[in-house]
Structure 1
Amino acid sequence: MADIADFANDLVQERIDQALAARNAAKSASVIHSFLFCEGCDDPIPEGRRVASPGCTQCVQCQSIEEQREARHAR
């Protein structure tokens, strides 16, 4: 049988979900421009990448390294 603590937890979780959804919606709407230069190595980011991936901040090589690093830490 559910008690008041269960209802409170459900309400808090619902509010967190709503806040995260609003944050993600605002975040994707605000990220429009890509960097001209990679924040990792300062090399120019090719126009094709900037067009294909709006909001990118790294060149393909630095982005690949970052994703590999994140994948290793996620384990």
Structure 2
Amino acid sequence: MAGGWSRDGAENEQMEASIQEELDRMKLRRMPSGESFLECAKCGEEIPEKRRLALPGVKLCVECASERQGREVRASSYNRRGSKDSQLK
């Protein structure tokens, strides 16, 4: 990219910083908030007090949260770009 008066790579650094900021905001939005459930919303098992204190607003037990996270990871590993570099993993 043409940079004009900016040093080499400045645009890329700015884009990477912007992307990282948005990723950080998305992570915060995914964190539970509010009052924690006493029982898991999916399976009905009791959520341990230590988990409720560590994650205010938690709604799933460890097992159900792990299962959900595993599904999200599998779904997000799909290559949507189609560029050769991203396919070399």
TM over 0.5: yes
Gapped runs of 5+ residues in structure 1? Answer: 1-20
Summarize deviations over 1:18-72 as a string: whole Å, max 9, x none: xxx7xx78xx7xx221011101110010110000011110000110000000000
Q: Which residue of 2 aligns with 1:45?
A: 47
Q: What percentage of aligned pairs have identical amino acids? A: 41
Question: Runs of 4 or more off by more than 6 Å in structure 1?
Answer: none
Q: Which residue of 1 aligns with 2:75?
A: 73
Equivalent pairs, count: 53
Describe the SS at the equivalent of 2:72.
helix
The alignment's C-alpha RMSD in Å is: 2.8
Take 1:52 and 1:46, find their aligned partners in 2: how far apart are those partners?
10
The higher relative CO (CA closer than 8 Å, separation ≥ 6) is in 1
Greater helix content: 1
Describe the SS at the equivalent of 2:46.
coil
